[in-house]
Amino acid sequence: MTFDFTDRGKQPVVENLEDWTLENDNYRTTVWTGSKMQMTLMSIQPGDDIGLEVHHGIDQFLRIESGKGLCKMGETEDNLTFEKEVTAEDGIFVPADMWHNVENIGDSPLKLYTIYAGPDHVPGTVHPTHQDAENDPNEH
């Protein structure tokens, strides 16, 4: 199956989210950016993570499609008091202003999609690797 991985935000889109997510091999691929919501696909390599972060004023939802991870959250970046293992079919709800990270603790890529309410990345953002994301001046 071939998917269009370009950002088709503000356009009507229907996709099989599980297949779309499993086919993505980039660290991050932004596939839909609207005025109040954004969706990205992620493929986190074993031993890597999404990166400890906080989204001010933005709630976030993550859905694990395959792999094994460790979700951590807390009020401050040095006090992550919430910790839970996650696997396929788990959903993670991150409140706005909550520090969080998801680490791949398995031996295969951790495949997930995430929805930000509102958008967090520049429309059309693609980061083939975690390092590319860290080097992007548009990321915080």
State residue 105's pLDDT score. 98
First to last CA, the chain: 34
Give the separation between CA 47 and CA 56, rounded to whole angstroms.
Answer: 27
Structure-token pair, residue 83:
């910790």
Quick: pLDDT tens for 32-44: 999 999 999 999 9
Query: Are the CB atoms for 110 and 50 separated by under 8 Å?
Result: no
Query: Are the CB atoms for 14 and 20 separated by under 8 Å?
Result: no
State residue 42's pLDDT score. 98
Strands of 38-44's sheet in order across: 91-94, 59-66, 110-117, 38-44, 28-33, 126-127
Residue from 99, 115, 134, 98 nearest 42 by CA: 115
State residue 22's pLDDT score. 98
Lookup result for tokens 């086919």: 23
Give 10-residue mean pLDDT values along the chain (140 residues).
90 96 97 94 98 95 98 97 98 98 98 90 92 90
